[in-house]
Structure 1
Amino acid sequence: MVSNQYRVEEHERMLAMSDINCIKHLRNKKGLSITKIKETLGINWRTAKKYADEDQLPDSKIKQSNGMMYTDKWGEIVSDWLFEDSKLKKKLRRTKKQIFSELLDLGFKGSYRTVCYFISDWENSHNEELDKGHDRLEHPPSDAQVDFGVMEVVKNGEFMDTHVLVMSYPHSNAAFAVPLPSENQECFLQGLKVLFTQSGGVPRRIRIDNLTPAVKKVRSKIEEAKLTDAFIQFQNHYGFEVQVCNPRSGHEKGSVENKVGYIRYNFFTTSPVMNSFEDLTETLHIQLQNDRQRLHYEKEVMIEDLWNIEKEFLLE
């Protein structure tokens, strides 16, 4: 039976850590969608979303009368923008006023002060991490990064989550994506096949984190990650190398993490209607093709031109 604690109104809700852990377990270990967690525990959708994905938002250090930055999507959007801008020279980063203006264009109803409070909070909680001075990773042509992101779509008149496998090529900043019904091994390997087809070749090296379909559970902190047998067979067939990121080293695949956020807030801000996975795959493919018609954020060359050069390095 669901605890009465789950039945309180949204604005009064303060879940115990055991309840939060339950939500995190259903999300991260069981792979349940936000909607399924909501139905299983009988809680509000926004509460399920907040606690399932709360590590994407900074911890609140300033009590605000308006909590929309933390309970709605706006905090996630701004967090992704701030993280993306942290990789750029200061003069190229968005100002607070620019961020506020872009949020208004997306339908934001909050105040400028609310946004400033959130940005200050985010900077306070991330400055230590950003100041660690990670060595800049080199990204030779045909090196790719892969990760999943959860996006919201509309199917049969109802909102639902879909899993989107994203492949980013940091050298050119080109990206490819395929929506999938799950993050299991069958979907992961089939998704990679689609991404190879979209790319017109196979990356020489793919960097991943500890994705369950590809990496066996590591029992010791000093034990190296071991690939699953099915993924090794898949790797041998296509001939690419694999690099598994170190634990808690998100900067090692920062390109694809930023690209997941970029796709979410540029192509899924208004939840698209999904008639089928095939139709949505084709739509995303065309959108990302068109998206390459812009300058690389650092090299000041068209992404399409960089990609045309990089894809010559791919394996057949």
Structure 2
Amino acid sequence: MIDLVTKQDVILKVEVEGLSQRSVATKLGISRNTVKKYIQEYRNAREKFTDLSVENFALTEAILEKPSYNTEKRAKRKLTEGMMDRLDFYIKQNVQKRTDGRRKQQMKIIDMHEALLEQGFDIGYTTVRNYVREKEKTRKEAFIRAIYEPGVVCEFDWGEVKLEIGGRLKTYQLAVFTMAYSNYRFAKLYHSQQAVCFQDAHVEFFKHLARVPVQVVYDNMRTVVKKFIGTERELSPITMSIAAFYGFQVRLCNPRKGNEKGHVERSVEVVRRKAFSLHDSFDSIEQANEHLQTKLNKLNQRTRSNKTPSVLILEEQAVMTTPMGDFDASEIMNLKVDKYSTVTVKQNHYSVPDAYVGKTVRVKNGANSIRIFDNHALLAEHTRTWGVHEWRIDLYHYLTTLGYKKGALENSQGFKQAPKQIKFIYENYYTNNQKDFIALLHFIKEKNNLSEIITLIKALEKKPFFEFSTEKLIFLSQQKPEAPARPAGNQAIIDKSLENLSDYANLLNKEKEKQIS
């Protein structure tokens, strides 16, 4: 292969050093025809250069342009007409499959090559690849820059982020909204991309803005699109319900056209990097979301077109609609209470009052909480767990059963998950008296006064002759503090008497200190 240096060497040796073309060809080990070609190109260029009206492009190219060879008319040595017919058939099949929604069943180039080999053709993979790529070559797509009106378009997308929460490394889902006009960003972390999380993200965003945009743009995620019918798409009930509640339009991107929601595509990457590239370890997901909000506030303060997103969003809010309320982002289920007085949601157990064993209750499964109802009466509410085979037990739900199964108290799941104050009271004052302890729990549950009981216990401990019992705690808790009665009579006499009593008390205390010393 002749390179640029060889070409320049030929020109120098013939034109400058005066060597013959034959000797140069022999010396450089190349064809005499090649030497003749380079010299002729150079001399033709020099003739053009003598015309002052012509730029010296030809002469420059003759020296600096690498040698090239015309391969367009070169015949294909192994790719026969029969092979090309088969490859054209496979390419046509792939086009039909894309139209029918069977994109994942297309033949790849390697599949086409293997098919040709099985049919007895002798052909290499590279030749097949080059032919198919040339056939499938299409005109490059042109993009049209859009101009957005305030308050009209909002884009949504999910992103993944790996965080260490409570010492455990786990992948979390980042829900991101971006207003197209202002580039104002909002995001929140979730455990999953489930429907309730998708809906909860919208509730939080609309609550944050206190406004609703005209249109929200999505890609073809499963929570948004129920099914494809050819090129048509059917929205999921999840999407339709929240769109109907807030009154916004849903617009879907064309398949594999992320550029149609380019604001949020970029936002996912920016928010993830700015929020969690330096700090990715937290005690809880709540703490991580607080950190995320702090970073978002800084991003929304960055100047864009001489204004910050935080300023531009005010223009959008002025023309957007106000939500009528907050959508209840939850999945409703009717579940039967098992023998442990729990309902099972996504393989996790949540307790209800023990009187409901064997009954059917209504459960609202949300992104952050599990609420359990009997008709419209709230029976229990638990923080949702995203693990597997975990139990959320409220000790108060089992007081009736513990009344006649007192020995089960200490080893029960409910006692293990009880608040620290409850465990403290039991372990310090009721270890061998489960009956009175359960009676105290009944009182605390009824009055919702655990902090008050703790205060009373601390006050009783300070008394010199400390006697502790459930009856005393209940009695003291029910007493209302009364203001001390002020003695009637001449004010001056009263004040002087109080002063004398104070002095006398101080004198007695000094005498006691002398005796002790």
Which TM-score tier does this pair reach, normalised by the shorter chain?
0.5 to 0.7
Find out whether 1:226 has 2:234 as its counterpart.
Answer: yes
Distance in 2 (alpha carbons) for counterparts of 1:215 and 1:249: 15
For residues 75-154 of structure 1, the aligned pairs below 5 Å read 132-142=141-151, 143-154=153-164
- The offset of 1:272, in angstroms, is 2.1
- The offset of 1:271, in angstroms, is 4.5
- The offset of 1:281, in angstroms, is 2.4
Map of 1:160 onto structure 2 = 170
Match of 2:316 among 298, 303, 310: 310
Map of 2:431 onto structure 1 = none
1:256-314 deviations in Å (ceiling 9; x for gaps): 00000001111111352233333322322232122222211xx2322222122122222
* Change over 3 Å in CA distance of 1:130–1:260 after alignment to 2: farther
Map of 2:97 onto structure 1 = none
* Change over 3 Å in CA distance of 1:218–1:274 after alignment to 2: farther
Map of 1:208 onto structure 2 = 218
For residues 1-316 of structure 1, the aligned pairs below 5 Å read 132-142=141-151, 143-220=153-230, 222=231, 224-296=232-304, 299-316=305-322
1:163-207 deviations in Å (ceiling 9; x for gaps): 000000121111000101101111100111111112222221100
How much identity, in percent, do the aligned residues show? Answer: 26
1:62-92 deviations in Å (ceiling 9; x for gaps): xxxxxxxxxxxxxxxxxxxxxxxxxxxxxxx
Distance in 2 (alpha carbons) for counterparts of 1:130 and 1:275: 52
Q: Which one has the bigger strand percentage?
A: 2
Map of 1:87 onto structure 2 = none
Distance in 2 (alpha carbons) for counterparts of 1:153 and 1:271: 9
Distance in 2 (alpha carbons) for counterparts of 1:249 and 1:279: 35
1:16-58 deviations in Å (ceiling 9; x for gaps): xxxxxxxxxxxxxxxxxxxxxxxxxxxxxxxxxxxxxxxxxxx
Contact 1:154 1:272 in 2 (8 A): yes
Q: Secondary structure at the match of 1:218?
A: strand
Letter paired with 1:252: E
Q: Secondary structure at the match of 1:147?
A: strand
Contact 2:166 2:284 in 1 (8 A): no
Show structure 2 runs of 5+ residues with no match: 1-136, 323-517
Letter paired with 1:185: A
Q: Secondary structure at the match of 2:226?
A: coil
Equivalences, count:
185
- The offset of 1:129, in angstroms, is 11
Contact 1:137 1:252 in 2 (8 A): no
* Change over 3 Å in CA distance of 1:183–1:285 after alignment to 2: same
Distance in 2 (alpha carbons) for counterparts of 1:205 and 1:275: 37
Contact 2:214 2:320 in 1 (8 A): yes
Distance in 2 (alpha carbons) for counterparts of 1:215 and 1:274: 34
* Change over 3 Å in CA distance of 1:309–1:162 after alignment to 2: same
- The offset of 1:216, in angstroms, is 1.0
Distance in 2 (alpha carbons) for counterparts of 1:178 and 1:184: 14
Contact 2:216 2:248 in 1 (8 A): yes
- The offset of 1:217, in angstroms, is 2.3
Letter paired with 1:306: L
TM-score, normalised to structure 2, is 0.34
Distance in 2 (alpha carbons) for counterparts of 1:157 and 1:228: 37
Map of 1:6 onto structure 2 = none
Contact 2:188 2:289 in 1 (8 A): yes
TM-score, normalised to structure 1, is 0.55
Distance in 1 (alpha carbons) for counterparts of 2:233 and 2:241: 16
* Change over 3 Å in CA distance of 1:277–1:198 after alignment to 2: farther
Distance in 2 (alpha carbons) for counterparts of 1:180 and 1:208: 18
- The offset of 1:158, in angstroms, is 2.6
Q: Secondary structure at the match of 1:313?
A: coil
Q: Secondary structure at the match of 1:294?
A: coil
Greater RCO (Cα-Cα under 8 Å, separation 6 or more): 1
Rg: which structure is higher? 2
Map of 1:49 onto structure 2 = none
Show structure 1 runs of 5+ residues with no match: 1-127
* Change over 3 Å in CA distance of 1:250–1:130 after alignment to 2: farther
- The offset of 1:254, in angstroms, is 0.6
Contact 1:155 1:275 in 2 (8 A): yes
Contact 1:148 1:163 in 2 (8 A): yes
- The offset of 1:130, in angstroms, is 12
1:110-157 deviations in Å (ceiling 9; x for gaps): xxxxxxxxxxxxxxxxxx999622111232222100000001111122
Map of 1:100 onto structure 2 = none
Contact 1:198 1:285 in 2 (8 A): no
